[in-house]
Amino acid sequence: EADAGRGRDGSRWGPRWLDLDLLAVGQLIANDERLTLPHPEISSRQFVLEPLFDCAPFANVPGLGSLRALLDLCEAPLVVVGELA
């Protein structure tokens, strides 16, 4: 982030020029003050799960289960707003 010119204003949830979320690393499970893996919101984010499923339909999220099962648990269908070019 620093190499890309990202400046921080001191707030954790402030505006960002660059935002990267590490979703999962193999079957690693981590939970400390700097890193939580898999990402704590991955199971509720259909917009994350669908492209992952497209790339790796038989993959599992460590500690949570298969991508297919997680997608099946998402409450609402994905809605695309606006026109697609």
Residues marked active site are found at 6, 16, 19, 21
Q: Give me the DSSP letters along 26-79.
A: TT--EESSS-EES-TTGGG-HHHHHHHHHH-TT-EETTTEEHHHHHHH-SS---
